[in-house]
């Protein structure tokens, strides 16, 4: 059986220099995205054609979000990403593409007025999480599922402040939601009932946009930024770190034994 052509050992000197490439992606991302303002991330399949109902809905969603004062952030590629960027771009809003370099080339869609290119998925993902105040997931593949469950994990565990998550297209998402309910919640009890309330399933673009705007406004009204004195009283594990997540409690033990 042929094995992938992959080295057994990595050159430590090369591993160290790679840190600078990682650092440069974070620096560019932070400097650029900090100017975007309130933004909603839109995820979905890169394979969705322009004549698909989901593509057309994503385009309307992008325009609707701009009208409600949001910037739109996508992965910058074709399909649903292109549609959401197109709607935002043509509505005169901020249309952000966080593009990723892939072995099979992903060409950036032309509807971006803010674009960043990433080599590392994890650096790119930090930008999604840190700078979004809401998320919409259209039908998609592994990447869309990755982003959805990443959001669920961060919100469920309290690592990230809660923000509204919308699953668009009930025909696509209902089987997964049913599996969560019957298998994860009722069958194995690996999640709780309140976890099922962390997202909204809808087929209505206007409903999705209004839900996002209302939820974000409510968060702003109830969760104002603490003063310096108030922040000092917040336990360290509850404070928001530089990448937009909470610090959390540190492990009591460190492992350094390589034997």
> In the numeric block, which tokens belong to residue 29?
């991302």
pLDDT at 107: 85
How far apart CA 82 and CA 49 sit, in angstroms, is: 10
Q: Mean pLDDT throughout 138-160? A: 96
Give residue-wise pLDDT tens across range 49-99: 999 999 999 999 999 999 999 999 999 999 999 999 999 999 999 999 999
> How many other CB atoms sit within 10 Å of the CB of residue 209?
24
Q: What is the band of 189 on the pLDDT scale with cuts at 50, 70, 90?
A: very high
> How many other CB atoms sit within 10 Å of the CB of residue 154?
18
Using CA atoms, how far residue 53 sits from 64, 76, 83, 110, in Å, is 16, 20, 11, 21
pLDDT at 14: 76
Q: Do the bridges between strand 39-43 and strand 134-137 make them parallel or antiparallel, or are there none, so unpaired?
A: parallel
Note the pTM of the prediction, 2 decimals: 0.86
For residue 192, is pLDDT > 80?
A: yes
Domain range 33-221, its CATH number among 3.40.50.450, 2.40.50.140, 3.90.226.10, 3.20.10.10: 3.40.50.450
* Region of residue 241 (phi > 0: left; psi between -120 and 50: alpha; otherwise: beta): beta
pLDDT at 42: 98
Name the one residue in this structure whose structure tokens are 């057309």. Answer: 56
> In the numeric block, which tokens belong to residue 244?
């937009």
How far apart CA 198 and CA 8 sit, in angstroms, is: 42
- Answer whether 204's CB lies under 8 Å from 136's CB: no
pLDDT at 4: 58
pLDDT at 226: 56
Give residue-wise pLDDT tens across range 204-247: 999 999 999 999 999 887 755 555 555 556 777 666 665 567 77
97: phi then psi, degrees, rounded to nearest 5: -120, 115
pLDDT at 184: 98
pLDDT at 11: 75
How far apart CA 180 and CA 185 sit, in angstroms, is: 6
Give residue-wise pLDDT tens across range 8-51: 567 777 778 888 999 999 999 999 999 999 999 999 999 999 99
pLDDT at 247: 73
Residues 6+ apart with CB under 8 A from 124: 25, 29, 75, 98, 100, 118
DSSP label at 196?
A: G
What is residue 202's three-state secondary structure?
strand
DSSP 135-169: EEE-S--HHHHHHHHHHHHHHHTTSS----EEEE-
């Amino acid at each position: 059986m042929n094995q992938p052509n992959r080295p057994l050992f990595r050159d430590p000197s090369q591993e160290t220099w790679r840190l600078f490439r990682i650092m440069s992606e974070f620096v560019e991302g932070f400097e650029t995205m900090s100017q975007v303002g309130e933004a909603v991330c839109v995820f979905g399949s890169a394979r969705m054609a322009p004549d698909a109902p989901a593509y057309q809905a994503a385009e309307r969603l992008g325009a609707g979000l701009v009208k409600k004062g949001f910037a739109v952030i996508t992965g910058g590629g074709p399909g649903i990403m292109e549609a959401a960027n197109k709607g935002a771009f043509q509505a005169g809003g901020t249309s952000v593409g966080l593009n990723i370099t892939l072995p099979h080339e992903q060409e950036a869609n032309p509807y971006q007025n803010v674009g960043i290119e990433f080599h590392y998925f994890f650096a790119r993902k930090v930008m999604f999480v840190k700078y979004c105040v809401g998320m919409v997931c259209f039908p998609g593949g592994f990447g869309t599922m990755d982003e959805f469950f990443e959001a669920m994990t961060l919100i469920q565990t309290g690592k990230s402040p809660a923000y509204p998550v919308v699953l668009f297209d009930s025909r696509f998402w209902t089987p997964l939601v049913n599996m969560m309910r019957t298998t994860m919640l009722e069958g194995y009890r690996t999640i709780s009932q309140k976890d099922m309330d962390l997202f909204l399933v809808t087929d209505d673009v206007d409903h999705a946009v209004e839900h996002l705007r209302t939820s974000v406004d409510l968060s702003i009204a109830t969760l104002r930024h603490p003063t310096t004195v108030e922040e000092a009283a917040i336990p360290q594990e509850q404070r928001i770190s530089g990448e937009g997540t909470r610090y959390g409690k540190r492990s009591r033990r460190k492992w350094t034994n390589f034997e």
